[in-house]
Chain A
């Protein structure tokens, strides 16, 4: 499970509802969620401008009605997913611009479904069961550890530069190791390379 941290802002005046949502969000499996509670209209703007959350859960009526499109442009958050937080039925026309709604009676399962829907496009292509490296990926790791550039790896393995980049991305995702120094440790403790082979790369 190498999920990216999802920043979720909760703009709701009631402390009980607000912290209730925070607790419910933390219970959602397969997500790493950082909730932020926003308590006033003023801080909403500051927060959105400075911190660019991924999702905003907002009570659409408390601080006056929000023009969601305008809020996104004004705070330079074009990709922000806004979800309306509803206590009860509400006039549909007030929900313009919201990606979805959350009811205070939603279950954790339902919250998860709704988040899945919002973030699905960004979910990784790799299924989580299969995190073993392919042969090609292993070969790429060895090249990286030996200090080859992407271009040199492409030549060495007869691949296009594009394929090498995609291998490297998959390696980083599967292993959760991004740096060359980290891959070096991985390769040595897993005996993909011998320590003597790469000593020259370690000493500079």
Chain B
């Protein structure tokens, strides 16, 4: 099947074509300064499986998911590393940075709006929800997937268990967005508030697309291996 991007595209073209791929590229551990190198060259230099990289990039670029059963060429280890890097990005970088910006935007002593406390309580509850969600994936699901990739089945776990319990983690962020858009009394011009809202919106999109990769790319790929190993038994 023909896909949007192939191994011979220039890495820099990917970013120019679709700037959200910048996040994907960085989560694969590929660093900027690509020059005119092709996708396959950059992957090779960095020891990243090029097929898997392209599969994720195309999955995210071709807005509609085409579900096809071609997971033989996917390296589960590479996908897991990618997803783990995304978790680190959210927990160690993006959410703390959002928290700082939010605090700065809502705590404006000049306007006497001492809302920091309530917003932080809300935000910290959200972060601990995300943390629990991602820790389960890191500690249980990804370990299981790596074992499968090494050819070992686990009689006590299956990816269907994960699929069943995998919940959305964007609902609280959506709430925060609604509060700021619909209910927050904005006193005149507040660039900080606009900025943090903009960041929340892009973080929401990022988290949703991260979950899509897990649901519609990672889970079916793991399930395909599960089926193969079960059939071989």
Contacts and interface: CB of A to CB of B under 8 A. Distances in A.
B67 A46 contact: yes
B184 interface: yes
A40 B1 CA distance: 12
Given A51-B215, A182-B172, 7 more contacts: A19-B64, A37-B65, A37-B67, A50-B220, A179-B172, A185-B118, A202-B118
28 contacts: A18-B64, A35-B64, A36-B65, A37-B67, A39-B66, A39-B67, A40-B69, A47-B67, A50-B163, A50-B219, A50-B220, A50-B223, A51-B216, A176-B182, A178-B171, A178-B175, A179-B125, A181-B121, A182-B172, A182-B176, A185-B119, A188-B118, A189-B115, A190-B183, A195-B115, A199-B117, A202-B117, A202-B121
A19 B219 CA distance: 24
Interface string B44-68: 0000000000000000000011111
Interface in B161-193: 163, 171-172, 174-176, 178-179, 182-185
A166 interface: no
Given A186-B183, A189-B184, A195-B118, A36 B171 contact: no
A184 B67 CA distance: 42
B196 to A, nearest CB: 14
Interface residues of A, number: 31
A37 B179 contact: no
Given A50-B163, A50-B223, A189-B185, A36 B67 contact: yes
B96 interface: no
Contacts of A19: 64
Nearest to A23: B64
Nearest to A204: B121
A127 to B, nearest CB: 18
Nearest to B168: A5
Interface of A: 18-19, 22, 35-40, 42-43, 46-47, 50-51, 175-179, 181-182, 184-186, 188-190, 195, 199, 202
B174 to A, nearest CB: 7
In terms of DSSP, what is the predominant structure of the interface of chain B? helix
The 4 closest A-B pairs by CB, nearest first: A181-B122, A43-B67, A182-B175, A176-B178
B114 A195 contact: yes
B172 A46 contact: no
Contacts of A177: 175, 178-179
Query: Chain A's interface: helix, strand, loop or mixed, by majority?
Result: helix
A186 B176 CA distance: 10
A46 B160 CA distance: 11
B164 to A, nearest CB: 10
Contacts of A189: 115, 179, 183-185
B98 to A, nearest CB: 15
B229 to A, nearest CB: 16
A43 B174 contact: no
Contacts of A50: 160, 163, 219-220, 223
Contacts of B69: 40, 42-43, 46
B179 A182 contact: yes
A18 B219 CA distance: 23
A65 B119 CA distance: 55
A37 B175 contact: no
Nearest to A11: B67
